[in-house]
Structure 1
Amino acid sequence: MSYEFALRPAPSEVVRRDWRLPLVAAGVWAAALAGLYGNTVSGLLVAAGCAIVVALGRKWKRCIAAAAATVAFGGLLGAGVTTVHVAARDHAGLAAMTAAEAHGEAELVLHTAPKPSTRRPELVTATARLHAFDTDDVVVEGHWQVLLVASGDEWLEIDAGQRLTVPAVLREADGGRLTAAIVSARGPPERSGTLSLPNRVAAHVRERLATAVESVPQPEAGLIPALAVGDVSMMDPELAADFRTTGLVHLVVVSGYHLSLVVGAVLAVALACRAGPRARVAAGAVAIAAIVVVAGPQPSVLRAAVMAGMTLLALAAGRPRAAMPGLATAVLVVVLADPDMAAQAGFALSVAACVGLLLLAFRWARPLEHRGWPQSVALAVTIPLATQVAVTPLLIGLGSGVSLVSVPVNVLAALVAAPVVVLAVGAAAVAAVWLPAGEVAVQLAAVPARWLIWLARNGAEIPGALLPLPGGLWWGLGSAAALAVLIALLQIRRLRVPILAVLLSAGLGTVPACLTTGGPPSGWVVTMCDVGQGDALVLPAGDAVVVVDVGPEPAAVDACLDELEVDRIALLVLSHFHIDHTAGIGGAVEGREVDAILAPPPGEARYGYELVEERAGVVPVLEAAPGQVFEFGATRLEVLGPPTELLSGTRSDPNNNSVAVRADVAGTSVLLTGDVELEGQRALLGSGAVLGVDVLKVPHHGSSFQVREFLETADPAVALVGVGAGNEYGHPDPGALGVLEEGGALVLRTDESGWITVVRNGDAFEVTTAD
């Protein structure tokens, strides 16, 4: 007699996956992304090509051919839907207005609430739908996705969903998105109509939560709204940078993790109340809808909401959960509903993290479980590792660097991550109903939040915590290929132990290197730090240094100064107060002695000025004036600008009134120009100052606002451009770089080379970079 029975799967076993839906989703995503960078004609050609492959695929029998046909079917769907949206985006009348930078009155509805720009917090930005634009001569009407850019505190009081009219200028938007135009407000908004019920609910919850967190001190008060609803507007900028450096940023972006915790808690309560399957599904659906409404239609929220909805449908149908098809369905629904999501980095990172979780984390946990590890402990280790592996190629491609402390920090954060998120979300819900109870809930959430703050701050201070790598498509693809080969080799049992031993030895080998290497080389002249879209330069000053600008983020400039072993800054020069030159102030001054700060009048850039005032503390601030001279050992600095009578009425007065400095470092001349544009460069040419130098910091990140005579007069041997990879400004301009290269200059850019150090060796210059 024989018996047949099914073996019970291992605790972390997943359902056998059907790859048809993921292949269709990949085709939809790829075609949508291609369509965003094209036009109606190219979209139709892609759709036609996919249709041909699908038709031929009916005759193909091989597995690879069938997979190609499946991807092509998704491509047909994605290309067709995206082409319709692109045709609307490229409306001829609107395109003519953006090309002419038309002035008029815009009627629009805000899609998201205005928030300070991450690059220039003195400005606020919001996505919106433009319904009409009225000039003196013509009116265009439609439903276009636009980016609103404005200034003024009154904008921060406007909620998502508000219909308004505002005087504005239409400008061209960057390619590769469905954004049809940039609407630059030129006055205060005039509201019309009332908010819809969902938008009123979202505004009420956010307002009550902001009031409730006043009962706890900073930085907890700013962190709790971020944990609850993804609102980082109150979060300390330096703490936000530390969260990015240590890989904890996923906790302050509402995603699948938040939804799983909240919906799981709601279902647990419903089950405890003996609710039936339909009632539990309804309760879960209400929880999902509430999170989407309050957190807003962020990419990670939408992806997670659709995936959670599919899970609830599976629960209602009494079927087991199939996670990969659920994720694929989420991608399909989100991208087909809004093809613009295909080009959003947040959406790609969210999906990549989920893929790593589903394909790698549970698989890697099984060997640990077989060795006696509890499942929860095994997954606490493998989930951060798997998601880090999955998102690393994207992070490298985006030029964001790779956190080397992400995995251990996230393992330690797992001790409180779930409770603090549930408490923060609960505080938001309770505060919306009864404020005193919400304040109590906030105080409870603040206790575990302090552990996350401690982890982020201390993790970010570890030498080498953030590994800066060159960004770009090919670096991202190369890292993806290398990781794929490594994972494949680890599947071979006899190779597994040697490879892990090599990786462990390499990891341990970096520890003393991080602790002992660094410091400037012999003959050091200047280092341009890689701080993304911004400037930060360091020059020797005897037993200290001179720092010129500090970039947009504290972590990047702090890492650069650590690498140079800087503990004292003799003079901190701030060329002007735009955020891409000043927001990293905390990373430069904290933990270091700063003798003085040299800066121009703040002008219009009040936000950066106030930030410097707050972070600089008691450090004396000197006002720059032409003719000032500072000497530090073998380094001499002469201030060339701004002029005594500040420039006004230019395209950007703060840029043109930048502090311009000529430095002589042991006989090597360096011209540091801030962001001076046409008027500022002409003023320097007319000042009689000696502008011919060995090294030039190219003005304004190499923008198109360059005076050819100024660049030719500088005539540098080395030209340095501080610029972020894939920046939205089109920096640097090929024409400006061409002028410098024609003059024989070696042009180096931080987006391609990382940090750049210039060394004088006798009569020759040597340049070292991070690539």
Structure 2
Amino acid sequence: MKPDQERPDLRVVLLACCAWAGSLLVLLGSVSIAVAAVAAAAGAAAVAVRHRSRTSRGPGTQSGSDADDRRGARPPWPRPSRAGTWLLVGCAVVTCASASTAALRVEQHRATPVARLAQAQTSVSLTARVASDPVRREGRFAPYVLVRLSVRTVEGLGRSYRSAVPVLVIGDLDWLDVRLGDTVEATGRLRPAQDETVAAVLLPRRAPTVVAEQGALLSGADVVRRGIRASVVHGSRDAEALVPALVVGDDRQLSAEVVEDFRTTGLTHLAAVSGTNLTLVVGFLLVLARWAGVRGRGLVVIGGLGVVGFVLLARTEPSVVRAAAMGTVGLIGMGSHGRTQGARALGVAVLVLVLVDPWLAVSWGFVLSAQATAGILFLGPVLRDALMRWAPRWVAEAVAVPFAAQLACTPAVAALSGQVSLVAVIANLLVAAAVGPATVLGLVGGLLMPVLPWAGVLVGTGAAASAWWIIAVATHLAPLPTAAVHWAAGPLGLAVLCALCAAIAAGSPWVFARRGPAVLTAAAMTLVVLVPLPSPGWPPSGWVMVACDVGQGDGLVLNAGEGRAVVVDAGPDPPAIDRCLDRLGVREVPVVVLTHFHADHVDGLPGVLDGRRVDRILVTGLADPPAGAEEVRRWAGAAGIPVRTARFGEVHQLGLLRWQVIGPARLPRAEGPGSPPNNASTVLLVESRGVRILASGDIEPPAQEMLHAAVPDLRVDVLKVPHHGSADQDPELIGSLGAVLAVISVGVGNDYGHPAPATLALLEHAGLQVRRTDQDGDVAVRVVDGRLRVSTSGPRTPG
């Protein structure tokens, strides 16, 4: 039997799965369930040991089937072999160990002084080591910074404690200046953490004070990271951002459009710290070492140093350690007897990582890394060997590896993103030749920049060119009609998808081994991707308004007939609103109304403008936040579209569609109650085919009361619930509208708690039927035979 055809040893993989299950039981279940599971596992181990002792007595002892036959009885089940018995014992012990470790780590966080101070929301002063790079985030009203600290000492309530636990800082932009490895002093208020991976959340009062700077190793790594970014400055903006992501997982500068295109085409793993990064970097070092004459144990030393260097460059965070472990498994799998040794290495890696850091068991990155590695190790060689019956080896490997990895990851990707990419294999195949050069040249450019800047820029230009090709593949494949299909992420949908993937995995070797079926299958998949699939019943007949599922934001489409529509807000994500308009067959947008300038209403505007004729844009009179207003005017100016302020009382008509601006009657004062941008939302009263719709933006109670006073006799059939169903609602306005249907545009699992239970109760009390985009997908308001109807597409967009 050839080494590549050796059957993998799955015993260690089984132990790893048991360890994973034990951690999941604790982290996703209750303590009582965890204790019961540990007790059950311990009992199973005891029974297995006792059973083995009874079936392995010395000579002269009658036992087993012979003794049973003499007594005229047969055992009710086959007796396990000695190896099987010890494997059962090992599984039970590993399950107990992982569950106990996870429970202990969770309890350590809960029982620390930091956690107790957080429960009391105490003001503290602490000394801590910076454990992650600061990350800037854009809030609804102002940017903020996230950074993790490893606490050393904390003072609160008049006492001082030593406590080595992680805390999450949510601070202002002053925290961007701290570096990984710095020791800082900070003051602020501790609050309980919803994420059990940290003991508390710190809301600092002022900028941190650095009392000790990072060490020489981390400082040197920072020099190389800066060198990588500096070496690609002559490339395009997206290429400049992608090269650091490929080399060390630094994806902070990638644009939202590129991230979405990568997600659609199955290339997200390239822009994050993954085993691919380490395999390329360490593999390059090993090639250099072999060229220099290094052999045997010297290569092992070089490989080990390469792994350590990669971890230092990409940061010693759990995701990086996980990626390093999976990359090492990949390197082992590439050697002789790779399938057998790779399987054992994968099992050991998962087992050790889960025992050391139980929270990896609930990390999507860990799930995807392990599944992709398993697919490449177990399914990849089978598909490659089948394809090699009629295709060259390099073609077989280029197709089999991404196909196996993508198939193994498909259920997890669908659970995470709500979609299945149909172009992932071809996308990974097309970029395969560019990923290596972009990664290796980016690293070499970063190493050269401190000593030979001209050489670093020269090499970095090659990395940027390779990155440009990767981005070009993503941006050209993502807009294809069926680049990705939406998939229900519920238990039934995922069960069906798992069964489908298992069937494809079982049937693929037969298809790959035969030229005719393989070519026909590839042609059929190409046709499916290039030709839009019919959407039975969508858009539904007689639709007058659709609330697009754009995630946490608003995106309303008002039907003006003949492929035309008025768009009210564009949501936060250009591809999401673009796909919704495509599904509705909208080719022209006479008017875009942006109710206010928050990102969840305007950031998707490029998606509306993409490939459609847009005549004008109406906006609110309050240019707040200024950054959002400036972005809108920049996008509109680039497309040559006029922008003007909507005037209170103005009326527009397009065919059977008529709307009037009924709010705000006056702009809110900056010092007034509530959010001024929200209360400045443009409010529309829409009429179409006898149905009256209130498009209310994000108005809060002050503006709702103003609207009620300005239009006291306002009656509608459909209410677009203000502010994504937040708790800030005026019961008098909602109760007086006489609406029969409430539509809430809201994202799955959003951080704001929308829609609020109190608002749902208020709508129910007012007798309104409620439809939500997070649960129902696109929500269509229809008129059929003169009667109001509602249709939904099913959930499409997560979060």
TM-score by length of 2: 0.85
Change (3 A) 1:348 1:604: farther
Tell me the matched-pair count.
759
* 8 Å Cα contact 1:409-1:459 kept in structure 2: yes
Change (3 A) 1:451 1:701: same
Over residues 152-174 of structure 1, what are the superposed CA-to-partner deviations in whole Å (9 max), with x where a residue is unaligned? 3x433332233334454444433
Q: Does 1:413 align with 2:431?
A: yes
Tell me the equivalent position of 1:583. Answer: 603
Tell me the equivalent position of 1:764. Answer: 788
Query: Matched residues in 1 for 2:282 and 2:510: separation?
Result: 39
* 8 Å Cα contact 2:685-2:695 kept in structure 1: yes
Q: Summarize the alignment of residues 90-169 of structure 1 with structure 2, pairs less than 5 Å apart.
A: 90-91=110-111, 94=114, 98=118, 101-102=121-122, 105=125, 107-117=127-137, 122-131=143-152, 142-152=163-173, 154-169=174-189
Q: Does 1:17 align with 2:8?
A: yes
* 8 Å Cα contact 1:43-1:79 kept in structure 2: yes
Name which of 727, 741, 765 aligns with 2:750.
727
Query: Matched residues in 1 for 2:645 and 2:35: separation?
Result: 59
Name which of 81, 90, 107 aligns with 1:87.
107
Q: Does 1:398 align with 2:421?
A: no
Query: Matched residues in 1 for 2:473 and 2:338: separation?
Result: 40
* 8 Å Cα contact 2:322-2:353 kept in structure 1: yes
Change (3 A) 1:471 1:148: farther
Secondary structure, counterpart of 1:205 in structure 2: helix
Secondary structure, counterpart of 1:112 in structure 2: coil
Tell me the equivalent position of 1:195. Answer: 214
Q: Summarize the alignment of residues 289-438 of structure 1 with structure 2, pairs less than 5 Å apart.
A: 289-297=308-316, 300-309=319-328, 322-371=341-390, 373-438=391-456
Change (3 A) 1:367 1:340: same
* 8 Å Cα contact 1:229-1:291 kept in structure 2: yes
Query: Matched residues in 2 for 1:567 and 1:417: separation?
Result: 37
Tell me the equivalent position of 1:447. Answer: 465
Change (3 A) 1:516 1:489: closer
Secondary structure, counterpart of 1:398 in structure 2: helix
Tell me the equivalent position of 2:721. Answer: 698
Give the residue type in structure 1 aligned to 2:668.
E
Q: Residue 79 of structure 1: CA displacement?
A: 1.2
Name which of 457, 462, 469 aligns with 2:487.
469
Change (3 A) 1:560 1:30: same
Query: Matched residues in 2 for 1:89 and 1:713: separation?
Result: 50
Query: Matched residues in 2 for 1:603 and 1:34: separation?
Result: 50
Query: Matched residues in 2 for 1:90 and 1:647: separation?
Result: 42
Give the residue type in structure 2 aligned to 1:765.
R
Unpaired runs of at least 5, structure 2: 53-78
Query: Matched residues in 2 for 1:135 and 1:577: separation?
Result: 41
Q: Does 1:48 align with 2:39?
A: yes
Q: Does 1:560 align with 2:584?
A: no
Change (3 A) 1:466 1:578: farther
Q: Does 1:622 align with 2:616?
A: no
Query: Matched residues in 1 for 2:21 and 2:703: separation?
Result: 45
Secondary structure, counterpart of 1:635 in structure 2: strand
Q: Summarize the alignment of residues 439-518 of structure 1 with structure 2, pairs less than 5 Å apart.
A: 439-488=457-506, 508=527, 511-514=530-533
* 8 Å Cα contact 1:122-1:607 kept in structure 2: no
Query: Matched residues in 1 for 2:385 and 2:736: separation?
Result: 66
Name which of 580, 583, 595 aligns with 2:615.
595
Change (3 A) 1:520 1:139: farther
Q: Residue 66 of structure 1: CA displacement?
A: 7.0
Q: Residue 756 of structure 1: CA displacement?
A: 2.2
Give the residue type in structure 2 aligned to 1:49.
A
* Most deviating of 19-28 and 689-698: 689-698
Query: Matched residues in 2 for 1:503 and 1:269: separation?
Result: 38
* Most deviating of 318-327 and 476-485: 318-327
Change (3 A) 1:744 1:139: farther
Give the residue type in structure 2 aligned to 1:722.
S
* 8 Å Cα contact 1:31-1:76 kept in structure 2: yes
Tell me the equivalent position of 1:263. Answer: 282
Query: Matched residues in 2 for 1:424 and 1:561: separation?
Result: 39
Over residues 232-287 of structure 1, what are the superposed CA-to-partner deviations in whole Å (9 max), with x where a residue is unaligned? 22223222221221112222223111211111111111111112323222221222
* 8 Å Cα contact 2:775-2:794 kept in structure 1: no
Query: Matched residues in 2 for 1:421 and 1:226: separation?
Result: 9
Over residues 476-518 of structure 1, what are the superposed CA-to-partner deviations in whole Å (9 max), with x where a residue is unaligned? 2332133224434667899999999789758746754448999
Tell me the equivalent position of 1:31. Answer: 22
Secondary structure, counterpart of 2:747 in structure 1: coil
* Most deviating of 487-496 and 184-193: 487-496
Query: Matched residues in 2 for 1:690 and 1:391: separation?
Result: 55
Secondary structure, counterpart of 1:117 in structure 2: strand
Q: Residue 87 of structure 1: CA displacement?
A: 1.0
Q: Does 1:632 align with 2:650?
A: no
Q: Residue 458 of structure 1: CA displacement?
A: 0.9
* 8 Å Cα contact 2:673-2:702 kept in structure 1: yes
* Most deviating of 747-756 and 712-721: 712-721
* 8 Å Cα contact 1:397-1:477 kept in structure 2: no
Query: Matched residues in 1 for 2:333 and 2:301: separation?
Result: 13
* Most deviating of 113-122 and 666-675: 113-122
Give the residue type in structure 2 aligned to 1:428.
G
* 8 Å Cα contact 1:39-1:87 kept in structure 2: no
Query: Matched residues in 1 for 2:615 and 2:121: separation?
Result: 46
Query: Matched residues in 2 for 1:327 and 1:67: separation?
Result: 17
Tell me the equivalent position of 1:204. Answer: 223
TM-score by length of 1: 0.88
Q: Residue 393 of structure 1: CA displacement?
A: 0.9
Give the residue type in structure 2 aligned to 1:150.
G
Give the residue type in structure 1 aligned to 2:12.
L
Query: Matched residues in 1 for 2:696 and 2:513: separation?
Result: 55
Name which of 211, 217, 230 aligns with 2:249.
230
Query: Matched residues in 2 for 1:316 and 1:417: separation?
Result: 21
Name which of 566, 585, 594 aligns with 1:546.
566
Give the residue type in structure 1 aligned to 2:502.
A
Change (3 A) 1:261 1:711: same
* 8 Å Cα contact 2:329-2:342 kept in structure 1: no
Percent identity at matched positions? 33
* 8 Å Cα contact 1:256-1:300 kept in structure 2: no
Query: Matched residues in 2 for 1:323 and 1:224: separation?
Result: 29
Tell me the equivalent position of 1:3. Answer: none
Change (3 A) 1:193 1:370: same
Query: Matched residues in 2 for 1:46 and 1:409: separation?
Result: 43
Give the residue type in structure 2 aligned to 1:47.
V
* 8 Å Cα contact 2:544-2:781 kept in structure 1: yes
* 8 Å Cα contact 1:238-1:586 kept in structure 2: no
Give the residue type in structure 1 aligned to 2:370.
V
Change (3 A) 1:710 1:187: farther
Higher Cα Rg, which structure: 2
Change (3 A) 1:454 1:314: closer
Give the residue type in structure 1 aligned to 2:2.
R
Secondary structure, counterpart of 1:17 in structure 2: coil
Give the residue type in structure 1 aligned to 2:132.
T
Q: Residue 647 of structure 1: CA displacement?
A: 5.3
Q: Residue 462 of structure 1: CA displacement?
A: 0.9
Tell me the equivalent position of 1:717. Answer: 740
RMSD: 3.6
Change (3 A) 1:318 1:392: closer
Unpaired runs of at least 5, structure 1: 1-6
